[in-house]
Amino acid sequence: MDLNLDKCRDLFEIIEARDCRKSTVIISQMPVANWYQLFGDNTYADACLSRMTSKAYRLDFSGRDRRVESK
């Protein structure tokens, strides 16, 4: 799913409003390195990602998918 300009702007406004004021949890199955591909406008990508990652605690989990039943 790509984010169009309006969605990028909306996401930026939410992140900007919460930056250094409120805690925000962001969960993704997509690696952070691939997040730039979601943004059609690199200016918004840079702005959003710098705010999301500047003071972040990043947890990367690996392992098998727990939703898939073992056979």
The residue written with tokens 């984010």 in the block is 3
Query: What are the tens digits of pLDDT across the range 20-62?
Result: 888 888 888 787 778 888 877 678 888 888 888 888 888 887 7
Predicted pLDDT of residue 69:
58
> Per-residue DSSP letters for the chain?
--B-HHHHHHHHHHHHHHTTTS------SS-GGGGGGGBSSHHHHHHHHHHHHTT-------S--TTSPP-
Cα 70 to Cα 47: distance, rounded to the nearest angstrom: 42
Average pLDDT over residues 1-9: 79
pLDDT at 5: 81
pLDDT band at 71 (very low <50, low <70, confident <90, very high): low
Question: What residue spans define the domains of the chain?
Answer: 5-53
The pair of structure tokens assigned to 27 is 């969960």
